[in-house]
Amino acid sequence: MADVKEFINLLSESKVELERRLSAIERDVRNESNPVSPDSQEQSLERENDEVIDALGNSARLELGLINKALARIEAGEYFECEECGGPISEGRLRSVPYASLCMECAEEQEYLNRENSNVA
């Protein structure tokens, strides 16, 4: 079995980076929300900014969740197993996507299904 320490390091580094990004985003949100400008056009611009910041915050939070899950999978000894089919996840894949919980085949299938779903909607 491959050495998980390398991956724990990778995941921990991303985690620290994401937490730093999230607190920076939250700081920005607080600064943006005051003072309130009396101009309604500017207000709607500010709202748009907030939405962008929200989206950034959400994707960072999402990624943080995936990283925590990956760390839990390492602890459980399931890190190199695909969540879906139980097959092996290659080290190369985990090196480029350390929080991957699916093997390449299952990930591609899921991506395909997601695309199908978004086409319907």
Q: Considering the complex, what minimum distance in angstroms separates the CB of residue 105 from Zn ion?
A: 5
Q: Tell me how far the alpha carbon of residue 4 is from its chain's centroid.
A: 20
Q: Considering the complex, what minimum distance in angstroms separates the CB of residue 109 from Zn ion?
A: 8
Distances (CA, A) of 93 to 5, 12, 30, 34, 76: 16, 17, 38, 44, 19
Q: Considering the complex, what minimum distance in angstroms separates the CB of residue 56 from Zn ion?
A: 30
Site for Zn ion in 26-85 (CB under 5 A): 82, 84-85
Between 25 and 89, CB nearer to Zn ion: 89
For residues 70 and 104, what is the distance between their CA atoms, to the nearest angstrom? 16
CB 69 within 8 A of CB 101: yes
- Give the total of residues touching Zn ion (CB under 5 A): 6
Is 103 a binding residue for Zn ion by CB under 5 A? The answer is yes
Per CB under 5 A, which region of 5-13, 22-30, 55-63, 98-106 contacts Zn ion?
98-106
45 phi, psi to nearest 5 deg: -65, -40
What does the binding site for Zn ion look like in residue numbers (CB under 5 A)? 82, 84-85, 87, 103, 106
